[in-house]
Amino acid sequence: MSFYRSPNSRRRYAAPRPRSLWHRLADYGLAAIILGLLILLAARLDRVETRSTQGAAIINDGDSITLGTERIRMRGIDAPEYTQTCRRNGADYPCGTLARQSLVRLIAGRPVTCSGWQKDRYGRLLGDCKAGDTNLNRAQVEAGWAVAYGDFEREEAAARAAKAGIWAGTFDMPKDWRASHHGQVVERKHGTLASIGDAVREIFRFW
C-alpha cells in the first residue's frame, strides 16, 4: 500500500510563523488599555451605590411614599394621581384615591423597605419597595392600580385581561393626565433598561 503525498503538503502543515515584535507589542498595549479601563471602572462603581431605607410608611398616593425624611417614587410603575378620576359604568370615580387605598391595604401597617440609587426630577429616590415578602411595585400593577412604566409589563397584561382596578373602565394614562392637568413634562420611563443606561452614564460622567 502506498500513500500519495502532495508536493504542497509540507507547506500546508508547516508550523505557523512567530508573530512579529510589533504585533506582540500591540497585543500587550491592548491588554494594558483594557486593564486600565477595568481599574477606572471599579474606582467609579461607588457612584451607583444602592441606598436602602426602611421604616413606617406615609402613603402619599398609589406609587409614592415617605419613609422618615426620604421621599420615594416606586420604580417601574405609574399610578393614577391622587386627584385623578377615571370612568367606569358610565360614571366618573376617584381612581387616584382608590390607587392610594390599594397601596395602604398592601402595606397593611407593616414596616416598608425600599432600595435604589436613582433620583427622579423632584429628588425622590426611585425605589423597589417591599412590605414583608410583598413586592409593592409588582403588587400594585397586579392589582390593576398602577400601569407598567418601564417594568412589570407581564403583570400589567394579566391585570388588563382580568379587568382589574382601572382596567375595568377607561382612563387617561397617569403621565398624560399630569401633562394635561398640571402641565408637567412627561418623565421618561424608569425600568431596568433605563437603570442600566443611567448607571453607565453616571460611571463615565467625569471621564
Catalytic positions? 73, 81, 124
CA 82/CA 138 separation, integer angstroms: 19
- Tell me which residue has cell 510589533: 22
The DSSP result for 58-95, as a single string, is EEEETTEEEETTEEEEETTEEPPPTT--EEETTEEE-H
Measured distance CA(167)–CA(159) in Å, rounded:
7
Of 63, 157, 160, which is closest to residue 106 (Cα–Cα)?
Answer: 63
